[in-house]
Amino acid sequence: MQCKEADLATCLGKPEGATTVESWRFVENTDGLVVTEESGSYYVQPSPGETGIPLEELTALLPQAVEVQMDGAAVTVAITGWSCEDYIPTTEDETEATLWPTVGEYIFIATVEEGYAFDAAPEITVRLRASNAMVALAASLSSSEEYYKH
Q: For 39-68, what is the mean pLDDT?
A: 90
pLDDT band at 65, cuts 50/70/90? very high
Cα dist from 45 to 30, 56, 62, 80, 104, whole Å:
15, 16, 11, 22, 10
Sign of CA dihedral 95, 96, 97, 100: positive
pLDDT band at 25, cuts 50/70/90? very high
Indicate if the pLDDT at residue 34 is higher than 70. Answer: yes
